[in-house]
Amino acid sequence: MKKVAIIAQTKEGQLSDASKQLISYLSSFKPESIFIVALGEVKFSSIAASSSVDVVHLSDGLWCDTATVQPLVSALDGYSVFGIKSIQVDNLLSLLASISSNEFVSGIQQLQYVSGSYSINKSIFSGKASLSLKTQTASYFSFNRNFDFSGNAEFAEQPIKSSSTLTPGSASKSTIKSLKPITGSIPLPDASLVVGAGRGLKDPGNWTIVEDLAKALGAATACSKPVSDLNWRPHHEHVGQTGVKISPNLYIACGISGAIQHLAGVNGSRVVVVINNDPEAPFFKHADYGIVGDVNDILPRLTKKLQSH
Amino acid sequence: MKILVCISCVPDTTSKVTIDSSTSQISTQGLTFIVGPYDDYALSRAIELKESNGAEVIVLHVGGADSEPLIRKCLALGADSAVRIDGFPTTSSQISNSIVNYVKQNPVDLILMGKESIDYNSGIVHGLVAGALGYTHFNPVMHLDLSGDGLNLEVEMDGGKMDVFCPLPAVLGCQEPIAEWKIPSMRGIMTARTKEITVLPFESVSQIQIEKADIAETARKNKMIKAEDAEQLIELLRTETNVL
Ligand SMILES: Cc1cc2nc3c(=O)[nH]c(=O)nc-3n(C[C@H](O)[C@H](O)[C@H](O)COP(=O)(O)OP(=O)(O)OC[C@H]3O[C@@H](n4cnc5c(N)ncnc54)[C@H](O)[C@@H]3O)c2cc1C
Ligand SMILES: Nc1ncnc2c1ncn2[C@@H]1O[C@H](COP(=O)(O)O)[C@@H](O)[C@H]1O
């Protein structure tokens, strides 16, 4: 790895913890130079890394076709390019990789780099299996959100050597008509704690007990597909095979049966708690902690316990 | 308007995935295959557009002859013709190169795909195809309507959604609720029998070597807590697993 680039989103001008960990992880390979491509504002002036860092910030707008991303393709020539999986990061990496005729591996769970060759473990079948692959030529890589960065070496803060803004190569023929950010709640894909609820809640009016528990924990809320199909909850909360895939530290499933299509979206969770009044619910087989009980009884008691200290 | 829908043929999610010890790859023995669920949404929207505005819908799959019954099902749903690129791709670039080679010979206005295949979960084939063809790329698209000489789309982004106008030609990754899944009609099944599936050779090579597949062991604790002791959960989450 001679020259490494990282495509990272920023929030309020700062890199996410996962992006910082990725930078220190890549630093342990002692690259000649590190280049950060920021999607969003840049308000940081130093970063823990092995060498000095150049930053380029992509101006607002749509980077959605060959003509617009061309300046970035040129800027990244000769770099190995990395990112942490997200919609925008993977979309950009796939366009850039194919325009520059490089191969792209996504869904990386483990990576080793020894004398010019990458050995990669990629998660497949929604985490049910993995694939070991080797490549010397691929130069675009996207890591899963639950990639294990523990054991990273510590690096000193390095000042940013240069910082500039890159604008699209030509005005895109696509136009944004409106932006609809989800506000007021913790975005589900980023959440480290998630409370999910299913048809067992019986009525959308009963969601207060789910929201109260989520609030006491500082967790995001999620739901099963029938719940969003019934319009009890917004579509973007639906997790599973056809919805969002989450990999939080803790997932609490309330009144959800544990159908395989639901599990496909939550398998990556570190600790799973299941609360269901049916002791035969299939979800219990996939739980770290299970409570056979009525959500109307259990959830308020857990909330109260959390609020008590 | 010509719409190409690219489909993956994947093991049904209820299948138990096992490893074939002689090849160290995923065993296909005893698995039921389905058209990828997101790809099914893409196809359903293409057929709705054909019905409402008139369009030619072509289905493309890169894979072996075993997939033909699933390709037939797409024809029964209303696709006009199908192309199968005959081979066993092991990487995303082999799939995208095959699609790109086909489209270079047979240009289309719109390419619809699923946002991701449920076997390899890469979510990148649409972006790779768009980059190589120089088409506009959006993913994942939740609503799609025709508008003048382009499309109005609702697209999910990290932390929200946006409405965009997208010119053609374009490559889109689709997800629900873009369309309702459809069931083939009797008439559809009859007419599909005479529709053509063109088989083309597979020529793409990849520099990525697949060594082996493994089953992921996710050992869960399976600890049960009595309902009357439910509050203990909070203590266990704090001390035993350190997630709080
Ligand atoms: C192709 C395909 C894709 C799909 N994709 C998804 C997906 O992405 N995500 C998804 O979630 N589903 C998906 N599904 C649907 C999935 O198969 C299940 O139907 C769905 O997950 C069930 O939702 P549920 O658990 O909320 O409801 P149910 O199956 O109705 O389960 C409700 C549960 O609540 C329990 N319960 C009832 N009352 C109480 C109470 N008072 N207290 C405690 N527990 C109670 C019941 O015992 C039951 O286990 C998909 C299906 C298909 C065919
Ligand atoms: N073998 C294939 N043949 C045709 N299209 C495919 C194939 N595999 C994947 N695709 C398309 O590419 C999309 C994204 O797949 P992936 O990048 O593997 O997650 C899928 O939803 C399909 O629409």
- Residue B234 within any structural domain of the chain: no
> A241 in ligand 1 pocket by Cβ < 6 Å?
yes
Number of structural domains in chain B: 1
Question: Is residue B123, in this structure, part of any structural domain at all?
Answer: yes
Taking all residues of chain A, what is their mean pLDDT, rounded to a whole number?
92
Higher pLDDT, B47 or A245: B47
Q: B81 and B198 in contact (C-beta within 8 Å)?
A: yes
Higher pLDDT, B205 or B64: B64
Distance in Å, alpha carbon of A174 to nearest chain B alpha carbon: 5
Poorest-pLDDT segment among A72-81, A155-164, B51-60: A155-164
> With a CB-CB cutoff of 8 Å, which residues 70-99 of chain A face chain B?
86-88, 90-91, 93-99
Q: B227 to chain A: which residues are within 8 Å by CB?
A: 291-294, 297-298
pLDDT at residue B193, as a whole number = 92
CATH classification at residue B187: 3.40.50.620
Q: What pLDDT does residue A84 have?
A: 93
How big is chain B by its Cα radius of gyration, in Å?
A: 21
How does residue A221 score in pLDDT terms, banded at 50, 70 and 90? Answer: very high
At B221-232, the pLDDT tens digits run: 999 999 999 999
Mutate: best of B17, B98, B212, B237, partner A, most A CBs <10 A: B237
- Domain membership of residue B232 (yes or no) is no
In a domain, B238, yes or no: no
Residue B81: per-residue pLDDT: 97
Query: What stretch of H or E contains A308?
Result: helix A295-308
Name all residues whose Cβ lies below 6 A of ligand 2. B 6-8, 36, 38-39, 60-63, 89, 92, 95, 113-114, 116-117, 120-126
The percent of residues in chain A predicted with pLDDT above 70, rounded, is 99
Per residue in A10-46, pLDDT tens? 988 999 888 999 999 999 999 999 999 999 899 999 9
- Inside any domain, residue B13: yes
Q: In the predicted model, what is the mean pLDDT of residues B149-172? A: 94
Name residue B236's amino acid.
L
Residue A133: the pLDDT is 95
Specify the pLDDT at position A201.
97
Subunit contact A104:B134, Cβ cutoff 8 A: no
Above 80 in pLDDT, residue A186? no
Segment A240-289, tens digit of pLDDT:
988 888 989 999 999 999 999 999 899 889 899 999 999 999 999 999 99
Residue A255 backbone zone (phi > 0: left; psi -120 to 50: alpha; other: beta): left
Report yes or no: A170 and A135 within 8 Å, Cβ to Cβ.
no
Q: Confirm whether the ipTM is greater than 0.85.
A: yes
Residue B233 covered by a domain: no
What pLDDT is recorded for position B165? 97
Task: Map out the domains of chain A with their CATH numbers.
Answer: 3-166 (3.40.50.620), 188-307 (3.40.50.1220)
pLDDT, position B185: 93
Phi (first) and psi of residue B115, to 5 degrees:
-70, -30
Domain of residue B208: give its range.
2-218
Among A62, A105, A264, the residue with its CB nearest the CB of B208 is A105
Residue-level pLDDT at A184: 64
- Residues in A touching B110 (Cβ below 8 Å): none
Residue located nearest, by CA, to atom 2 of ligand 1: A261
Q: What is the pLDDT of residues B98-134, one digit of tens each?
A: 999 999 999 999 999 999 998 888 899 999 999 999 9
Whether A146 has a pLDDT exceeding 90, the answer reads no
Of all ligands present, the nearest one to the C-alpha of A280 is: 1
Whether the upstream peptide bond of residue B140 has omega within 30° of 0, thus cis, is yes
Q: Which residues of B touch A187 (CB under 8 A)?
A: 158-159
Question: B residues 172-201 near A, CB within 8 Å?
Answer: 175-177
* pLDDT tens digits, one per residue of A86-136: 999 999 999 999 999 999 999 999 999 998 899 999 988 878 889 999 999
B5 exposure class (CB count in 10 Å sphere: 0-12, 13-18, 19+) = buried
Maximum C-alpha span of chain A: 60
Query: Is residue B181 domain-resident?
Result: yes
Contact A240, A261 (CB under 8 A): yes
Nearest to A135 among B177, B208, B226 (CB): B208
In the prediction, which pLDDT does B71 show? 98
DSSP letter string over B82-94?
EEEEES---SHHH
pTM of the entire predicted model:
0.89
Examine residue B53 and state whether it is found in any structural domain, yes or no: yes
Is A297 near ligand 1, meaning CB less than 6 Å away?
no
Mean pLDDT of B18-36: 91
Lowest-pLDDT choice from A175-184, B27-36, B227-236 = A175-184
